[in-house]
Amino acid sequence: MPILPTDTSPIDTGRHGTAEMRIIFEEEARVQRLLDVEAALAWAHAEVGNIPRKHAAKIVATASTKYVKVNRIKEIEREIKHDIASLVRALAEACGPSGGYVHLGATSYDIVDTANALQLKDALELIGDKLDEFEKVLIEKASRYKNTLMMGRTHGQHALPITLGFKFAVWMREISRHVQRLRQCKERVLVGKMSGAVGTQAGLGEHALKIQDLVMQRLELKPAEISTQIVQRDRHAEFVCLLAGIASTLDNFATEIRELQRPEIGELFELFEVEKQVGSSTMSHKRNPELCERVCGLARIVRSLVVPALEDVVTWHERDLTQSSTERYVLPEVCILVDYMLFLMTNIVAHLRVDEKHMLKNVGLTQGRAMSEAVMIALTKKGVGRQEAHELLRKLTIKSEIERQHFEDVLLEDKIVSRRLTKKEIDAALEPKNYLGTAKEQVARVVKRTMKERKARGLV
């Protein structure tokens, strides 16, 4: 059996995920975050006079994987069967006489939950940056294709004309809302605690609240207002649900591109490197939307993580261990996958091939029938009741389709229509460019709003 590289998961063998996100959740990086919390705790104890400063300084200086080796922690764990106690013993061992002050007054999940918050803080920075970049790409696409006519579809059928820029602007604002949600959720998700065995801080002494505040200040986290032995998992559940929402948004965009890439439609296409890319191992002509399909597939995994995240909200009394095993998978996986999906979709949209001529050709596929609402509105302006006009046009569109006759000819032949509308008025009603409503105005308005929001965030 081949031995996998140590920096890959045995599940996906390193296929999915960006290097910068994966490194946050590598084992040694995780251990370092746990050691960072232990160092902050020792420092805070010294600040309030609980332990001598020289011993705190020794612990702070030694709390590094340079001195506390992952292999040594694992060696101890094989004997005592407790991961955090093993880390504490390995750190104390490396600190010599100062080791007696390691982990003073704390419980395991003071360390674990605060380290979780540190990792999530790093992960959220990356995800936030990628949302910002994707939003920027969508601003460019919405502006560039603001006037590019295409057919809008509902139920998979031709509905009314829109512009491609309008579609991109709708996507842009969906990403903008996720940016807002991500920024808001940080207040509730990025919290740590130093509260002891059941949350009462009894083991931390008279300066317990001050110690917790000092630890969180040093680590640049917010302290939980109140907690039991664990930070309450509604926080993590909110975070996972948010990332699942982002994944579903990306799934939605990718599905739309996949549909529009079908030869029967042929309007948008993933970038295909014609010099060397292979679409199929046997069908040489294939140019599959495989990156979009990858996004859609990974979104299913991300959504599946919502259930265990919600289940983790439930705990016995002041804590149990049911959350521990699930979130070792859920938190890294949801961060790695969503970050990767954002990376993929940003590049997909940035390099989309747009066939504007085929879009225009597709607008005419229904021989003008897709403009029936515009004709109905024109008739109502000439005194025909709305319901009467709708029923008339319903019958005329069916006649046009069955007889394979252009809708304009059918309209001109109809006595009710021809008595009220001139050929020029019919032609105007059947011109798709005349029936875009405020689509272009809406694109310009939301682009302006999004750019204003980005400026407030310090972006361009």
Just list the catalytic residues: 155, 280
Phi then psi dihedrals of residue 285, to 5 deg: -80, -10
CB 247 within 8 A of CB 302: yes
Report helix, strand or coil for 48.
coil
Cα–Cα distance for residue pair 460/453, rounded to 1 Å: 10
Cα–Cα distance for residue pair 335/444, rounded to 1 Å: 33
Residue 216 CB contacts under 8 Å (≥ 6 apart), including other chains: 114, 191, 192, 194, 222, 223
Burial of 158 (0-12, 13-18, 19+ CB in 10 A): middle
Break the chain down into helix, strand, coil percent, rounded to 5.
65, 5, 30
For residue 202, the 8-state DSSP code is G
CB 90 within 8 A of CB 58: no
Phi then psi dihedrals of residue 191, to 5 deg: -125, 145
Burial of 268 (0-12, 13-18, 19+ CB in 10 A): buried
Cα–Cα distance for residue pair 436/424, rounded to 1 Å: 19
Element (H, E) at 77: helix 70-80
Could you tell me which of 41, 323, 32 has the C-alpha nearest to residue 196?
Answer: 41
